[in-house]
Amino acid sequence: MNSFPDRPYDNIGAYCDDYLQQLARAGASIDHDKLTKAAELLNHAFEAGAWLFVCGNGGSAAIANHLLCDFAKGIQTDTDLLPRVISLSANLELITAIANDIAYADCFVYQLRTAARAGDMLLTISSSGDSENVVRAVDWASTNGVQTIALTGFDGGRTARAAAINIHVKGNNYGVVEDTHQSIMHVFSQYLRQLRMPESRIAERKF
C-alpha cells in the first residue's frame, strides 16, 4: 500500500477528495466477524457488571476518553445496561506520577494491576499497534484473565498479535486510521445502545 500523501498537493479540495477516498477504503477494510465478536464480548461484559478499561496515546487517548463518554452515558440511555468504563488515558495526575517516578511505558499497566480483575476487559487504541505502554497493558491483561480487544492500523504492530481480537484498519495515514477508529467506537456504542432499546424508541431518539 502506497503512503498517503505520496505527492504534493496545491489544491485543498483535491486533497480532501483523496483523503476521503482513503477513509472509505479504511472503513471497508474492517473485518465484520471480528467486529461482531468484539461487540458480543462488550455486551456480555456489561451484562455481567465487568469493567471495561480503555487506553491510547495522543489522538488515540482522545478517542479513549471519548469512548468513556459515549459508552458510560450513551449506551445506558433508554436501555437497562449500566456500562462500567475507565479510561486509563484520562487521569493526568496519575499518568504523570507513574511516568515521572517509574516509566511512561508503565503508565497503563500500573493502573491495570491496581484496578483490573479477571473477567474485566481491556480495549486498546493504537494506530501503529506498537506503543510500548499499550503493548505492556495487553500483555499483562492477556495473562491475568482480562479479555483484550485492539484497534490498530498500519502493519498492526505487536498489539495486533497479542490481543484476543484485533480490529485492524488498512491505512497508513494517522488521520485516516484515527478517524476510522473513532467511527468504530461510535459503531460499538450506538449498536449496543439500539440493541437494548425498546423498538418503538429507536426512530424517536437521536444517536
Terminal CA-CA length for the chain:
34
Helix, coil or strand: residue 61: helix
Q: What is the mean predicted confidence (pLDDT) over 153-171?
A: 97
Q: What pLDDT, on the 0 to 100 scale, is given for residue 73?
A: 96
105 burial class (0-12, 13-18, 19+ CB within 10 angstroms)? middle
| pLDDT surpasses 90 at 77 | yes
Read off the amino acid at residue 62. Answer: A
| 134 confidence band (pLDDT: 50, 70, 90) | very high
Give the whole-angstrom CA distance, residue 88 versus residue 168.
21
% of the chain surpassing 70 pLDDT: 100
Could you tell me which of 62, 54, 124 has the C-alpha nearest to residue 84?
A: 54
Please provide the average confidence, as pLDDT, over all residues in the chain.
Answer: 97
Q: What is the mean predicted confidence (pLDDT) over 135-146?
A: 98
Could you tell me which of 30, 53, 83, 48 has the C-alpha nearest to residue 189?
A: 83
Q: What is the mean predicted confidence (pLDDT) over 6-21?
A: 97
User: Where do the domains of the chain lie, and which CATH numbers do they carry?
Assistant: 31-199 (3.40.50.10490)
Q: What pLDDT, on the 0 to 100 scale, is given for residue 2?
A: 75
Q: How far is CA 122 from the centre of its chain?
A: 9
